[in-house]
């Protein structure tokens, strides 16, 4: 009888995070050699801030994808949270109240997504494609197309403050990553999210309430998109109805690059965090190296495919 664990090499190869960190480390090393500006504190913190809201939204997205779903409404939710909060702020409500209402509303949209998927059995792709459009329509309708500006400094503080030079959104991002990691890896709910995404039939056979698990996952995704959207709004000081348009694809790509399989049941928020970092560093690098803007989408697409292929190859091999 033996209950040996795999050897160090195999364990390393099987560990998605390790592989991702190697890719990330390689990029950082290469960029520090190629440019004089990449490895400056200023730039690093700039990059950190820039991907924090995508990363935060992708944590929620990760929970949904691990649970076997997908949330296309994330980008719209980001914009909507910003608009609701900005309009309340301009109407004279306090910062705390405005933020709470903004988050509550995106949480509600997430809940709605979850109920549509679990109760009416709509495929997540369709349900959230619908809410993506509906919420974006509300963004346009409520603002009449105009960005909401002149937000109070006390709100912009959230997005523009640095603590020991580290941008506040980045600190919030790390905090939320820890929260999500604990939720997914240490709690019963987390175990059930993986179970539902890995094999929904099996999960229901053992009596897991799969509908409840999915509903919670979508609700969290709505909330996290809202948090990301608010931080972005606070950074820019403007809530545009067109904000975060198409970000759902970046958010999903961050999760996928981070080794979260679109078929569900595996991956971690740390992967999504690294995935978001890889994408932002790539964008940053292309600008720093003066890579022509016209070619950037091609480079980013290639990285998405490359990262996922490496992950698939790694899974097949070991």
Interface positions, 260-289, toward another protein (CB under 8 A):
261, 264-266, 283-284, 287-289
Query: What gap in Å lies between CA 66 and CA 305, rounded to an integer?
Result: 19
Using the rule CB under 8 A, is 137 a contact of another protein? yes
Site for another protein in 148-207 (CB under 8 A): 149-151, 156, 159-160, 186-192, 194-195, 197-199, 201-203, 205-207
The mark string for 40-79 relative to another protein (x by CB under 8 A, - otherwise) is: x-xx--x---x-----------------------------
Sequence-separated (6 or more) residues with CB below 8 Å from residue 212 = 118
The mark string for 107-136 relative to another protein (x by CB under 8 A, - otherwise) is: -------------------------xx--x
Using the rule CB under 8 A, is 214 a contact of another protein? no
Query: What gap in Å lies between CA 166 and CA 178, rounded to an integer?
Result: 17
Bridge pairing between strands 162-163 and 166-167? antiparallel
Task: Compute the least distance from the CB of residue 66 to another protein, in Å.
Answer: 9
Window of 3-11, 104-112, 173-181, 216-224 that interacts with another protein by CB under 8 A: 3-11
Instruction: Pick between residue 11 and residue 119 the one whose CB is nearest to another protein.
Output: 11
Query: What gap in Å lies between CA 13 and CA 2, rounded to an integer?
Result: 22
Window of 57-65, 168-176, 270-278, 290-298 that interacts with another protein by CB under 8 A: 290-298
Query: What gap in Å lies between CA 226 and CA 74, rounded to an integer?
Result: 8
Residue 194: closest CA among 206, 205, 185, 207:
185
Residue 75: closest CA among 131, 145, 146:
131
Query: What gap in Å lies between CA 234 and CA 160, rounded to an integer?
Result: 7
The rounded Cα 80 to chain-centroid distance in angstroms is 16
Q: Which of 237, 258, 259, 275 binds another protein (CB under 8 A)?
A: 237
């Amino acid at each position: 009888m033996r209950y040996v664990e795999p050897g160090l090499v195999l364990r390393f190869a099987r560990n998605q995070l390790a592989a991702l960190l190697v890719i990330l480390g390689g990029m950082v090393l290469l960029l520090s050699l190629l440019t004089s500006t990449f490895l400056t504190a200023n730039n690093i913190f700039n990059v950190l801030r820039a991907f924090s809201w995508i990363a935060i939204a992708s944590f929620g997205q990760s929970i949904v994808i691990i649970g076997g779903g997908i949330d296309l409404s994330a980008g719209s939710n980001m914009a909507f949270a910003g608009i609701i909060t900005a309009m309340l702020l301009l109407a004279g409500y306090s910062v705390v109240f405005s933020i709470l209402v903004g988050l509550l509303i995106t949480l509600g949209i997430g809940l709605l997504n979850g109920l549509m998927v679990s109760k009416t059995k709509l495929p997540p792709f369709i349900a959230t494609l619908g809410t993506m459009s509906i919420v974006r329509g509300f963004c346009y309708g409520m603002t009449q197309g105009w960005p909401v500006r002149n937000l109070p400094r006390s709100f912009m503080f959230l997005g523009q403050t640095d603590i020991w030079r580290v941008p506040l959104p980045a600190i919030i991002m790390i905090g939320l990553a820890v929260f999500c990691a604990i939720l997914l890896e240490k709690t019963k709910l987390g175990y059930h999210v993986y179970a539902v995404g890995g094999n929904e039939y099996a999960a229901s056979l053992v009596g897991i309430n799969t509908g409840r698990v999915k509903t919670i996952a979508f609700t969290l995704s709505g909330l996290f998109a809202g948090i990301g959207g608010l931080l972005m709004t606070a950074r820019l000081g403007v809530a545009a109805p067109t904000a975060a348009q198409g970000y759902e694809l970046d958010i999903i790509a961050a999760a996928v690059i981070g080794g979260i399989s679109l078929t569900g049941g595996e991956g971690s928020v740390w992967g999504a965090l690294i995935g978001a970092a890889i994408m932002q560093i790539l964008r940053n690098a292309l600008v720093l190296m003066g890579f022509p803007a016209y070619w950037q989408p091609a480079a980013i697409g290639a990285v998405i495919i490359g990262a996922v292929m490496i992950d698939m190859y790694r899974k097949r091999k070991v």
